[in-house]
Amino acid sequence: MVDMWDLDSEAIEERVSFQAQVRDLVWRETKQRLGFGEHEGPGTPNALAPTSSAAMHLHLMYLKVATEAGEAAQQLAADAAERAGRAGATYADLGLSADITRQAARKRWPGTVGTQWALYLLTGKAHPHGMATRVFRSGEKAIETGRTAVDEGALADDGAVGAVVIDSARQAVWACYFNDGTWAPEDITLPEALRTVPATGEAGHGDWLHRWEQHITSLR
């Protein structure tokens, strides 16, 4: 239970003000759907006789609009959660922002966190090679982008000569290189030692990059 003495008065005022703005928006939309102009009709939802048919009709329309507003807000929240997850937010982060528990955030937005793919591109025709990394929400899109980058790599000295797509568990799920013999990208299966990719900053990440570069170079 929240201790009211611990609440930030400024934050409370902001929330109350925001809720008032939402109520005004729902009320204006309700009146508009009922055919009233901006300065026409009842001044508030409770202005009509509470037991009249007109009041019932007004309240039902208000309920409809409020429900639609809630559904729209839920979709906005889901979109925001997906974008935050794509950017690296955890379920704990999502729960904190939505004022719910981590478990509730996972249940409300399943698959939002931990389902991203990283595309590693080895660039440059000659040693030392460069490196480019992109993150995707779709494994298929990551693979498509990687293959296209390698296919077009021959057109530029700093183009991609190899690509690897890694899932959230840091496992390589696809790889290819530019085959100078066929002049086209060729899918490959990485050696066992290269299939697990340490995250950036972790021990072994730099070593993996070096060994991957050597592997692509040996194929070319």
DSSP 220: -
Rounded to the nearest integer, the mean pLDDT of the chain is 89
Nearest to 26 by CA among 62, 59, 56: 62
The answer on pLDDT for 69 being more than 90 is yes
Termini Cα distance of the chain: 64
The larger pLDDT score, comparing residue 62 to residue 200, is at 62
The answer on pLDDT for 128 being more than 90 is no
Domains of the chain, by residue range, sit at: 7-108, 117-219
Q: Which residues pair with 133 in a beta bridge?
A: 120
| Distance in angstroms (rounded) separating the CA atoms of residues 125 and 212 | 15
Query: How far from 62 is each of 22, 38, 200, CA to CA, in Å?
Result: 12, 16, 52
Q: Is the dihedral of CA 48, 51, 57, 58 positive or negative?
A: positive
Separate counts of helices (H) and strands (E) for the chain:
6, 5
Per-residue model confidence (pLDDT) at position 6 = 55
Per-residue model confidence (pLDDT) at position 12 = 82
Report yes or no: 105 and 94 within 8 Å, Cβ to Cβ.
yes
Tokens 């568990």 found at? 169
| Distance in angstroms (rounded) separating the CA atoms of residues 194 and 181 | 24
Q: Which residues pair with 159 in a beta bridge?
A: none
pLDDT band at 148 (very low <50, low <70, confident <90, very high): very high
How confident is the model over 185-215, as pLDDT tens digits? 999 999 999 999 998 888 899 999 999 999 9
The answer on pLDDT for 60 being more than 90 is yes
Per-residue model confidence (pLDDT) at position 78 = 94
What the block records as the tokens of 71 is 């559904």
| Distance in angstroms (rounded) separating the CA atoms of residues 118 and 142 | 7
Report yes or no: 109 and 79 within 8 Å, Cβ to Cβ.
no
Supply the angle between the helices 53-86 and 9-33 in degrees, to the nearest 10. 130
How confident is the model over 15-43, as pLDDT tens digits? 889 999 999 999 999 999 999 988 888 98
Report yes or no: 163 and 175 within 8 Å, Cβ to Cβ.
yes
Q: Would the pTM count as exceeding 0.85?
A: no
Per-residue model confidence (pLDDT) at position 202 = 85
DSSP 149: H
